[in-house]
Chains A and B, each alone.
Chain A
Amino acid sequence: MRFSQLYNYEIAIFLSMIGFYVLVSRGNLVKKVAGLSMFQTSVFILYISMGVVQDGTVPILVDGVRVYSNPLPHVLILTAIVVGVATTAVALALIIRIKEAYDTVEEDEIHEQDRSF
């Protein structure tokens, strides 16, 4: 197995690390959520690429086609996307509340305000 044969795995891990880096390094809460979304999406891509079957086609029964892609990972990811959307929605709603309370979405400024209390 050569490196390039599993390029879908490498791309997914590369994307996830970018997302994770954004999540950890940015102080802006909205950017953190963007990083988190990217982190989640990279795993979705991994699943979807996993379902690919060489020379396979869309998994709809048609005459003359014998090789289909594996639809199971795609269905799973449909569920996972819903979960991801719910998480992102809750995160953004929380950020609105934080913004109301602190009048900022920058982590440093929030901590500064908490200290002065």
Chain B
Amino acid sequence: MSHWLPLAAFVPLVAGALTPAMARGRPGLARGWALAVTAFCTFATAALTRRVALEGPFSYAMGAWAAPLGIELRFDEFSAASLFICVIMLLVLVYSGPYVRRALPATRIDWYYSLLLINLGGMIGFVITGDLFNLFVFMELVAVSSYALVAVGGGRTAALAAFKYLVAGAVSSVLILFCIGVLHALTGSLNMADVARRLATVESRPPVLLALAGLTAGFLVKAGLFPVHVWLPDAHAIAPSPINAVSSALVVKLGIIGLLRIFPLFAAAGAVSLAPLFEALAWLGAISVLAGAFFALFQEDIKLMLAYSTISNIGYIVLGLGLAGELALTGAGVHILNHALIKATLFLAAGAMIHQSGHRTLHDLRGIGRAMPWTTLALLIGALSIVGLPPTAGFPGKWYIALGALESGRPGFAVVVLVGALIIFIYFARMLNAFYFRAPSHKEMLGVSEAPASMLGPVLLLGALCVLGGLLTHWPVALIAPAVGRLAGGE
């Protein structure tokens, strides 16, 4: 079936738009509908990922109009991220059932699932498109639904956090749109492969550099790298926990995947030298690793701490991109996928704790390890992974990035990788201490019951995936190896 590729992106978009109408007067249907659609997407992307692993990248011409005139959907090795997106979204939807019943007003529940499906469709579309303008449209689908999802829980600060996110997001989107316009003016094309070919013949350098700089800056804001991260902590800490898991694990990664999509345009042409940009990215990534970890250290609020740790981990990935060697790029690619698993585990487990106990600071959550042993176990596995201890999922990415730093003769960056992990380890020790060894600050904490099965199940499954992701690293590494080779060889 050659139509799996467009269906994977457009089925959730259409289904998302239909959800409120479908679920009207039939409460409870929205979740089943969303689960069915996401299960379909998981199946479709799994089939596509299998095909790319066996045959290599393939394209689909929308409406049978061949590229570069028609719109091309292209599934390459990095598009396999869509499988991770679907799996995490599926688990988030299972988890959402009992969570939203208490956290959201009843009238908003249908809209919540509708927005999640649109978010899912946008994300899948973003990673499979081969067209620059489509990239922008899918990015905006994800962004606008994310703004609304941050505010969906209601509450005093939620709208303000969402507004801050919206301003940062909209400005970066306009910047990206502007630069796509510049590229279109230069080349007369929007198809990525075609733009890459035509950029080689462009004589004037400054506009090419302008487009490169603007696109990089725009996607870095989307990714929430350190100096442009100000929107991220509030948006990721205030939203409902399942939304945190989606936005922190998946949505910020789109910024990184956007970078992976645009660099080959400039690299293939040899129109500009990317080396100075990569140098800057490596430094920005290193600063972000340390700054994110450092800020996380001072947070009492468990969700705010996880949000800062996202900034730190985005730093790792950007550092890997900046080092640009084959090993470092492998590390960055693996960490994009594994960090998604880890952050989803952490936010869902923390969300379950907050949901059951009603508390969200480390001080208030003391003693929860005895009341909710399984959730705490999953949270700690996630925390171990985010530190990057073997054999968990956080280890291979950081290991490859550190090796890449050594390979390219930059041991300083390898030290940064280690120091960042050490700082997070301090936070891990604080959590361990608070959850297991301190006397509860609230007497009723010991009476808190374990999360319901449909919340605990996804959390435990993700915890298990965190371990498996560390043990089975050779699969994703082998999968993205050809793409990494193209990226590293294109310079």
- A residues sitting closer than 8 Å to B (CB atoms) are 16, 20, 23, 29, 32, 36, 39-40, 43, 46-47, 50, 72-73, 76, 79-80, 83, 86-87, 90-91, 94-95, 97-98, 101-102, 110, 114
The closest CB in chain A to the CB of B189 belongs to A72
Helix, strand, loop or mixed for chain B's interface?
helix
Q: Decide yes or no whether B104 CB sits under 8 A from chain A.
A: no
Those of B143-185 within 8 Å (CB) of chain A: 143-144, 147-148, 151, 154, 156-160, 162-163, 166-167, 170-171, 173-174, 177-178, 181, 184-185
Are A50 and B181 neighbours in the complex by a CB distance under 8 Å? yes
Are A23 and B171 CB-contacts (below 8 A) given A46-B178, A91-B166, A95-B163? yes
Pick the contact of A94 from B133, B137, B162 — CB < 8 Å? B162
A76-B133 CB under 8 A given contacts A36-B171, A43-B174, A87-B144 = yes
> Chain B interface residue count: which class?
20 to 34
Taking A23-B171, A87-B140, A97-B158 as known contacts, 20 extra A-B pairs with beta carbons closer than 8 A to each other, sorted by chain A number, are A16-B174, A16-B178, A29-B163, A39-B171, A40-B174, A76-B133, A76-B184, A79-B133, A79-B137, A83-B173, A86-B140, A87-B144, A90-B144, A91-B166, A91-B170, A94-B147, A94-B163, A97-B159, A98-B159, A110-B160
Q: Does the CB pair A32–B137 fall under 8 Å? A: no
Separation of A29 and B184 alpha carbons in the complex (Å): 33
Q: Is the CB of A43 within 8 A of B177?
A: yes
A20 contacts B159, C-beta separation under 8 Å = no
**Chain A: minimal CB distance from B421 (Å):** 34
Q: Verify B166–A94 contact, CB threshold 8 A.
A: yes
Closest to A99 in B: B159
Q: A50-B181, A83-B144 are in contact. Are A39 and B159 (CB under 8 A)?
A: no
Which residues of chain A have C-beta atoms less than 8 A from B185's C-beta? 50
CB distance from B276 to the nearest CB of A (A): 24
Give the residues from 194 to 210 in chain B that come closer than 8 angstroms, CB to CB, to chain A: none
A114 to nearest B CB, angstroms?
A: 8
A-B contacts, 30 of them at CB < 8 A, read A16-B178, A20-B171, A23-B171, A36-B167, A40-B170, A40-B174, A43-B181, A46-B178, A46-B181, A50-B181, A76-B190, A79-B133, A80-B136, A80-B177, A83-B136, A83-B173, A86-B144, A87-B143, A87-B144, A87-B166, A87-B173, A90-B144, A90-B148, A91-B147, A91-B163, A94-B147, A95-B163, A97-B154, A101-B159, A101-B160
- Cα–Cα distance between A36 and B163 once the two chains are bound (Å): 12
Most chain B CB within 10 A, of A20, A36, A87, A94, is at A94
B 373-397 to A, binary, CB cutoff 8 A, 1 in contact else 0: 0000000000000000000000000
